[in-house]
């Protein structure tokens, strides 16, 4: 008898009917003889609605109270799912994050899970109950409720799977798996059968919202076998694992994109060894996430450095930079980041050149570039984002597996 963790996202528990459908899928898993732990998100758009309520009261609500508010969404769905399972004659118990033993760091809004004490979950499982855990939440050592960042229920599920040494973690969602790019935007997107942890981590970090990046980090660190699949359809989904044997001929595995990018340029600061540490320490101290950094035009006197940030961090970034002596600041919002990801890049030179050429042929100007071993990111105008993704998707042969083998 194994332990299986199942996670159902917001759309999958978006109505009473859907919760009943989820209950059926949970029962199916339990009937195979498995001990089942279920993690659920808040129903439908509940979290967005709660954020909206807070905004109606304050532009800067207390982060502690935001967590108090947002964590209620998941509490509703765990209780309803437990009731639905009871109606089916199953033994089931719902647990909030703290009841499930999930301890996080002392940080509101985007806390990391530090530890999971599985004693209580194991006890319920041993008593023959299906355990339903609220996703996206935990508690600090000082007893404060925290949340794990938007999309964080995936992380609850994978972290529980790791702590319980579960045989598998199934992420049930509103698509049938991980696609070559977001199928909502690109109709020719194709479901990927298998993907490595590293590739999935890049895609998730670069904007593919299908999995929370920290969920993939946990999966990689603890070698949790992960499958992303549909809560509605029966077909098998995408397996995320260490080694991926199939489709090795592919150079690019997937394309991720995100909007709301702003490029900030700081120029005219006196140049010395401490210019970069001064700027970036000041930003880091305010918790501002800086992405691509380009240092250019350094003569002996003056430095110029550009970096990209999330547009929502712009006001705070400008505040920080204005406090630096002599810094002139320019910024450009309305940008997007489009990234190609694939382990095939390691052994294939010329992938960046091909990407730049494809974008140039579309008349799309590239404003920033960054690369790692298995990804190339470009910053472009937001209005060109979807067109760029479509062109890259087509040219790297992602819509058509057979063709991809010949992409040079
Ligand atoms: P859930 O509520 O189940 O967690 P999410 O909305 O967080 O669901 O994630 C699923 C969504 O992720 C899909 O509806 C899809 O639009 C989006 N998505 C973005 N990139 C991808 C991708 N590469 N493959 C599949 N889905 C993707
Ligand atoms: N309910 C939370 C959100 O909407 C967490 C999640 O769904 O994973 O972000
Ligand atoms: Mg999600």
* b/e 279-307 (16+ beta carbons within 10 angstroms → b): beebbeeeebebbbebeeeeeeeebbbbb
Please tell me if the CB atom of residue 156 comes closer than 6 angstroms to any atom of ligand 2.
no
Phi-psi region of 285 (alpha: psi -120 to 50; beta: other; left: phi over 0): alpha
Q: What is the pLDDT of residue 378?
A: 97
Q: What is the pLDDT of residue 405?
A: 44
For 142-175, how does the pLDDT look when each residue is reduced to its tens digit (9 = 90+)? 999 999 999 999 999 999 999 999 999 999 999 9
Pocket test for ligand 1, best of 174, 188, 192, 201 (most atoms within 8 A of CB): 174
319 against 403, higher pLDDT? 319
Q: What is the pLDDT of residue 149?
A: 96
Distance CA 382, CA 179 (A): 22
Q: What is the pLDDT of residue 407?
A: 47
| Whole-prediction pTM | 0.93
Q: Is beta strand 254-270 parallel, antiparallel or unpaired with respect to 302-310? A: antiparallel
Please tell me if the CB atom of residue 10 comes closer than 6 angstroms to any atom of ligand 2.
yes
Pocket test for ligand 2, best of 42, 46, 73 (most atoms within 8 A of CB): 42
Index of the ligand 1 atom closest to the CA of residue 178: 24
For 190-245, how does the pLDDT look when each residue is reduced to its tens digit (9 = 90+)? 999 999 999 999 999 999 999 999 999 999 999 999 999 999 999 999 999 997 75
Summary mean pLDDT of the chain: 93
What Rg value do the Cα atoms of the chain yield, rounded? 23
pLDDT tops 80 at residue 94:
yes
Provide the token pair at 370: 């960054």
pLDDT tops 80 at residue 71:
yes
Q: What is the pLDDT of residue 245?
A: 58
Residue where the block lists tokens 């409720």: 145
Provide the token pair at 116: 């999971």
Which residue positions form the known binding site for substrate? 47, 74
DSSP-derived secondary structure letter, 129: P
Per-residue confidence at 366, pLDDT binned at 50, 70, 90? Answer: very high
Per-residue confidence at 246, pLDDT binned at 50, 70, 90? Answer: very low
For 260-304, how does the pLDDT look when each residue is reduced to its tens digit (9 = 90+)? 999 999 988 777 778 889 899 999 998 899 999 998 766 667 778
Terminal alpha carbon distance of the chain: 47
Index of the ligand 2 atom closest to the CA of residue 9: 7
Tell me the HSE value of 250 on the side-chain side, using a 13 A CA sphere: 29
pLDDT tops 50 at residue 22:
yes
* b/e 248-271 (16+ beta carbons within 10 angstroms → b): eebbbbbbbbbbbbbbbbbeebeb
The CA-based dihedral angle spanning residues 209, 211, 213, 219, taken in that order and rounded to the nearest 10 degrees? -170
Provide the token pair at 222: 């603890």
Q: Domains (ranges, CATH) in the chain? A: 3-174 (3.40.1160.10), 255-404 (3.30.2130.10)
Per-residue confidence at 325, pLDDT binned at 50, 70, 90? Answer: confident
> If you average pLDDT over residues 102-117, what whole number do you get?
96
What DSSP assignment string belongs to 200-262?
Answer: HHHHHHTT-TTS-HHHHHHHHHHT--EEEEESS--S--EEEES---TTTT-S--EEEEEEEEE
SS3 30: helix
Per-residue confidence at 408, pLDDT binned at 50, 70, 90? Answer: very low
How many residues are there in the chain?
408
Distance CA 125, CA 92 (A): 9
CA of 281 to the centre of ligand 1 (A): 34
> If you average pLDDT over residues 364-385, what whole number do you get?
96
Pocket test for ligand 2, best of 44, 147, 150 (most atoms within 8 A of CB): 150
pLDDT tops 60 at residue 406:
no
pLDDT > 70 fraction of the chain, expressed in percent and rounded: 96
> If you average pLDDT over residues 312-326, what whole number do you get?
89
> If you average pLDDT over residues 53-76, what whole number do you get?
97
Q: What is the pLDDT of residue 46?
A: 98
pLDDT > 90 fraction of the chain, expressed in percent and rounded: 85
Please tell me if the CB atom of residue 135 comes closer than 6 angstroms to any atom of ligand 2.
yes
111 against 401, higher pLDDT? 111
DSSP-derived secondary structure letter, 326: T
Residue nearest to atom 11 of ligand 1 (CA): 210
Please tell me if the CB atom of residue 150 comes closer than 6 angstroms to any atom of ligand 2.
yes
């Amino acid at each position: 008898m194994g332990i299986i963790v199942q996670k159902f996202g917001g759309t999958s528990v978006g109505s009473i009917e859907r919760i009943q459908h989820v209950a059926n899928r949970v029962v199916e898993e339990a009937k195979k003889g498995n001990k089942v732990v279920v993690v659920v998100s808040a129903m439908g758009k509940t979290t967005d609605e709660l954020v909206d309520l807070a905004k109606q009261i304050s532009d800067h609500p207390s982060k502690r109270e935001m967590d108090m508010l947002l964590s209620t969404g998941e509490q509703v769905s765990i209780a309803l799912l437990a009731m639905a399972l009871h109606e089916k004659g199953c033994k089931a118990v719902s647990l909030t994050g703290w009841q499930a033993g999930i301890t996080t760091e002392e940080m509101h809004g985007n806390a990391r899970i530090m530890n999971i004490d599985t004693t209580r979950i194991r006890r319920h499982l041993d008593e023959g109950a299906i355990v339903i855990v609220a996703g996206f939440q935990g508690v600090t050592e000082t007893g404060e409720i925290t949340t794990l960042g938007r999309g964080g229920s995936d992380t609850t599920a994978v972290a529980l799977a790791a702590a319980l040494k579960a045989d598998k973690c199934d992420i049930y969602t509103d698509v049938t798996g991980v696609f070559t790019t977001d199928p909502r935007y690109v109709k020719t997107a194709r479901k990927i059968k298998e993907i490595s942890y590293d590739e999935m981590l890049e895609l998730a970090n670069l904007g593919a919202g299908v999995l929370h990046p920290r969920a993939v980090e946990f999966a990689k660190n603890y070698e949790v076998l992960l499958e992303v699949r549909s809560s509605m359809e029966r077909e098998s989904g995408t397996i995320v694992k260490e080694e991926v044997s199939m489709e090795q001929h592919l150079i690019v595995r997937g394309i991720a994109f995100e909007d709301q990018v702003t490029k900030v340029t700081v120029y005219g600061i006196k140049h010395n060894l401490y210019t970069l540490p001064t700027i970036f320490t000041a930003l880091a101290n305010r918790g501002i996430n800086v992405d691509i950094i380009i240092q250019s035009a350094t003569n002996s006197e003056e430095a110029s450095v550009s970096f990209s940030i999330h547009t929502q961090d712009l006001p705070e970034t400008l505040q920080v930079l204005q406090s630096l002596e002599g810094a002139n600041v320019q910024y450009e919002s309305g940008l997007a980041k489009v990234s190609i990801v694939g382990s095939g890049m390691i052994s294939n030179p010329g992938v960046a050149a091909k990407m730049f050429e494809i974008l140039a042929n579309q008349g799309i100007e590239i404003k920033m570039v960054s690369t790692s071993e298995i990804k190339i990111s470009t910053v472009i105008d937001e209005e060109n984002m979807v067109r760029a993704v479509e062109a890259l998707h087509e040219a790297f042969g992602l819509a058509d597996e057979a063709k991809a083998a010949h992409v040079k």
